[in-house]
Amino acid sequence: MTDKISRRDVLSGAAAALAASALGGVPTRLLAATDDWRVDLAHPARAAGDLMLGVPFEKHATVRIAIVGTGLRGRSVLGELLAIDGVQITALCDVVEDKVRRAAAMVTKKGQPEPALFFDGPRAYEKLVQRNDIDFVYTATPWPFHTPVALAAMRAGKHAASEVPIASSVEDCWELVETSEKTRRHCLMMENCCYGNSELTVLRMVREGVFGTLLHGEAAYLHDLREILFEDRDEGLWRRIPHTKRNANFYPTHGLGPVAQYMGIHRGDRFEYMVSMASGEAGLSEYRAQKIEKGNAKWNETYVAGDMNSSLIKTAKGRTILLQHDVVSPRPYSRLNNLQGSKAIFNDYPPRVYIDGAKGGEKWTSLDDLNKQYEHPLWTAVGELARKNGGHGGMDYVMAYRLVQCLREGLVPDFDVYDAVTWSVPFPLSEESMRKGSAPIKFPDFTRGAWKNTTLQGA
């Protein structure tokens, strides 16, 4: 899964430079004028009659998809989509021509016509979205482009989806919400971890009452990315930049998305406020000292982000969530993915459950032992194909399959623009909490109160 670096990869410094500027600085509109965390984040919200909650897709016999960003992740997503019936890839875009052409070859190899190709600069996506043979624009670019591409797609009449996170400022979150509502186009964040086998099995157990009253969850992205962050290609060209500019949880959604699904966030509960703190920085500095030759430009960087970022979230129903981020320490991979209820507890890595009153006393039961009873219908239907063809243990295939199913059958998507921004907004909110000495910071209510009356939808 490695690509050789080319001169153009480095010269796609236009993209890298834009990434650097877009990730810099502290968001400006965070609190109401009182600076009191108990006051909702002020915003001139429109009437709630035009919300995108519970809005189905129109039916598409064939789903015509364009992909912006055809690097490693973009081509991985492309492979999943090409394996699903009823999908046509009509356009591709990247700042590197070679990457676009490699992606186009994947399309034609599947017997589809060559898609339209766009590679003339970092804003080429603005031309792509104007085409009339696109139903859905999928963004797999570096983070700073997620919001601009999604906005451009919706304004051109296309449904939009983004890799994670979908935004890095409160302002961008509100703009995505307002644009989705105004254009009546869906804006989704494709959180693949919501479609893992363990996550969907636990979700089914929650909905069948196995956990009783939900009390606490734990969510994280704990992944040793030091080697990737210091590479001179792919994510190494841009993903280290946030660590030099902001002290925050840069990547909250992989852990938080599944826990939000368990707790029915925006379906009877919502995140109310959070407090955050971070450890000191050592991981990147020490790795650089061990691995990077003196004189390399990376020695001009100063890392300001703490290695371990920890937050506590309180929900309107009084539940608590531990949220963590650490990508620069030696460790086995974990998203925590824990859930505590009044009748059962689930701990992941490895996935195991304890149910009150279970035979054998206080002992963990492997989640695999409960799969026959509680495996989610999506995995029952396509799990074999997913395990053979899908990335990340099959969850990527299940995610792509479900997206196409919703588009073809005219279903309500499993999550919406309100989920996308709420799972992403801990990025700037954690930063603001730490700036204020770990003060509580109120979550925006992007649904403007509609979460109280919205019922569960989706898979």
Span 65-79, average pLDDT: 98
* Per-residue confidence band for 122, with pLDDT thresholds at 50, 70 and 90: very high
Q: What percent of the chain has pLDDT over 70?
A: 88
Beta bridge partners of 67: 92, 138
Q: Write down the pTM of the prediction.
A: 0.91
CB atoms within 10 A of CB 357: 6
The pLDDT value recorded for residue 37 is 39
**Cα distance from N-terminal residue to C-terminal residue, the chain:** 31
Lowest mean pLDDT, pick from 16-25, 263-272, 292-301, 304-313: 16-25
In the 8-state DSSP scheme, what is residue 257? H
Span 16-37, average pLDDT: 39
Question: Are residues 315 and 271 in contact, defined by beta-carbon separation less than 8 angstroms?
Answer: yes
Helix (H, G, I), strand (E, B) or coil at 180: helix
Topology (CATH level 3) of domain 194-376+416-453: Dihydrodipicolinate Reductase; domain 2 (3.30.360)
Question: Are residues 175 and 151 in contact, defined by beta-carbon separation less than 8 angstroms?
Answer: yes
Q: Report pLDDT digits (tens) over 46-56.
A: 444 589 999 99
* Per-residue confidence band for 456, with pLDDT thresholds at 50, 70 and 90: low
CA distance 345 to 315: 19
The pLDDT value recorded for residue 361 is 81
Span 387-406, average pLDDT: 94
Question: Are residues 310 and 323 in contact, defined by beta-carbon separation less than 8 angstroms?
Answer: yes
The pLDDT value recorded for residue 188 is 98
Mean pLDDT of the chain: 90
155, pLDDT greater than 80: yes
Parse the chain into domains and list their residue ranges: 194-376+416-453
Beta bridge partners of 386: none
Residue 343 main-chain phi, psi, to 5 deg: -120, -10
CA distance 187 to 151: 9
In the 8-state DSSP scheme, what is residue 42? P
Phi-psi region of 314 (alpha: psi -120 to 50; beta: other; left: phi over 0): beta
* Per-residue confidence band for 457, with pLDDT thresholds at 50, 70 and 90: low
CA distance 76 to 1: 10
User: Residues for the chain: how many in total?
Assistant: 459
The pLDDT value recorded for residue 274 is 98
> What kind and span of H or E run contains 15?
helix 13-23
Residue 144 main-chain phi, psi, to 5 deg: -60, -15
28, pLDDT greater than 50: no
Q: Which residues have C-beta within 8 Å of that of residue 158, sequence separation ≥ 6?
A: 66, 129, 134, 135, 136, 137, 185
285, pLDDT greater than 90: yes
User: Of the spans 20-24, 386-390, 424-428, which averages the highest pLDDT?
Assistant: 424-428
The pLDDT value recorded for residue 459 is 61
Beta bridge partners of 338: 218
In 371-420, beta strands by DSSP E: none
Beta bridge partners of 278: 309
The pLDDT value recorded for residue 360 is 80
Q: Which residues have C-beta within 8 Å of that of residue 318, sequence separation ≥ 6?
A: none
**Which two structure tokens, joined as six digits, stand for 294?**
């003196």
* Per-residue confidence band for 309, with pLDDT thresholds at 50, 70 and 90: very high
